[in-house]
Amino acid sequence: MSQSKLDDLFDYTEERCLWQFFSRTWDREENIEGVLGQVARLLTGQEPLRGTPQERLFYADALAMANDVRERFPWASQVDHEEIHFLIDGLKSRLVDTVITRSTNRELNHHLY
């Protein structure tokens, strides 16, 4: 896995994707997993999941992201499916670390939410 490709994806996501900043830890985890799972499917040519309203919501965010990634990063069309999955897994880990684990927002885990 290329660190520069992961950096590209992370920088793009931090700049353009608000779904990572929902107000609770479980929301953030769910969005990171759901949207990026759909992005991986789209970038590897798999049919996206659209059976539930939640899957359709993730798909809508993922479609915009996947299209942007293909447009902005020429390497996106040149990497194999295995590398896409490694990049998406790396991005998930990095986002969880940044927006959940190291977040100083105490409301993320407030007991009344």
Are 76 and 70 within 8 A, CB to CB? yes
DSSP state letter for 101? I
pLDDT tens column, 21-57:
888 999 999 999 999 999 999 999 999 999 999 999 9
What's the CA gap between 81 and 87, in Å, rounded? 10
How do the domains of the chain map onto residue ranges?
1-100
Give the pLDDT of residue 113. 65
Residue type, 69: V
What's the CA gap between 41 and 36, in Å, rounded? 9
Question: Could you tell me which residue, 47 or 105, shows the higher pLDDT?
Answer: 47
pLDDT tens column, 63-88:
999 999 999 999 999 999 999 999 99
